[in-house]
Amino acid sequence: MATKPLQSVHTDQAPAAIGPYSQGMRLGDLVFISGQLGLDPTTGLLVGEDIASQTRQILTNLASIGKAAADGPSQFLKLTLYLTDLADFEIVNTLLSETLTEPFPARATVGVAALPKGAAIEIDAIMACSNG
């Protein structure tokens, strides 16, 4: 069986990369999505200072990139969360449980000193997808 070529994933429905990287990369049925901040795709600005609004926007951005990568069903396999304040863990956990469906993805959470643009949270993802 031939391996499908590596493909860059891009959508205008998620913020443009703010450095020399792709929004996502697809290899076969796997999609690796770059870390997303709570940026509005139109303005490139954070949607708010609070963790809840940033997390909701990140989940929207991840879904938009995932949709651009997949022609059929998809599932997040792994999320990595980067928080500037680990006290926000429970709020983020609640939002993820309200947004994601079982089986939930594997996950790691890392406390960091700072994030680009003064963001409170960043999330990257690995997704499995198939062509429908």
Domains annotated on the chain, with CATH? 7-129 (3.30.1330.40)
Q: Rounded distance, CA 105 to CA 98, Å?
A: 13
Q: pTM of the entire structure?
A: 0.93
How crowded is residue 49: how many other Cβ atoms within 10 Å of its Cβ?
Answer: 11
pLDDT at site 4 = 72
Give the pLDDT confidence of 87-118 residue by residue, as tens digits: 999 999 999 999 999 999 999 999 999 999 99
Tell whether the model's pLDDT for residue 60 goes beyond 90.
yes
pLDDT over 70 percentage in the chain? 96
